[in-house]
Amino acid sequence: MYVYIMPPMQQALRALGNILTKAEAHCAEHKIDPNAILQFRLFPDMLNFTKQVQLTCDFAARTAPRLCGLEMPSFPDTETSFAELQARVAAATVYLAGFEAAQFEGAETRNILLKLPSREVEMTGLEYGMSFAVPQVFFHLTTVYDILRHNGVALGKRDYMGV
């Protein structure tokens, strides 16, 4: 499970950090108030850019401990600047770097109970990792990317892929 979960999570966080750097530079270069991006949403019923970044970090950082049967970290949603979002990405990255492959032994069969707002869902660790957690990270990362492209930030596939 380690090889299926950790590299994609680390890649997503690496990409997110680089994307945030480009977004901040874009704002400075074009004299755009950073809040115009930080508060932007693609549609009124969608979460804004800042929340999309926070959720990318949260899903990435909470997957490993959930699969390993450990307590999940809590990250308060207090970021209001690119610098603070970068610090959140860095904290999630450092946290994930502390996990080792041996901690994931048996994770694929571990029973995972998700308490969603409308219901509870039970699944195996394999189902959780591959069908819930990884897609969640990349959904929110994609939305971050889409918001920035919509606002003229010069990003491409390599930026999204984190390579």
Q: pLDDT (tens digit, 9 = 90+) per residue, 90-131?
A: 999 999 999 999 999 999 999 999 988 999 999 999 999 999
Compute the half-sphere exposure of residue 15: CA atoms within 13 Å on the CB side of its CA.
Answer: 25
Distance in Å from the first CA to the final CA of the chain: 23
For residue range 35-88, list pLDDT tens digits in order: 999 999 999 999 999 999 999 999 999 999 999 999 988 899 999 999 999 999
Count of structural domains, the chain = 1
The CA-based diameter of the chain, rounded to the nearest angstrom, is 51
pLDDT for residue 4 = 93
Q: How far apart are the C-alpha atoms of 120 and 132, rounded to whole Å?
A: 14
Closest CA to 25 of 83, 72, 76, 96: 83
For residue 116, the model assigns a pLDDT of 87
Instruction: Tell me whether strands 120-124 and 111-115 are parallel, antiparallel or unpaired.
Output: antiparallel
pLDDT band at 162 (very low <50, low <70, confident <90, very high): confident
The residue segments making up the domain with residue 81 are 2-161
- Domain of 134, CATH number, reads 1.20.120.450
pLDDT of 163? 82
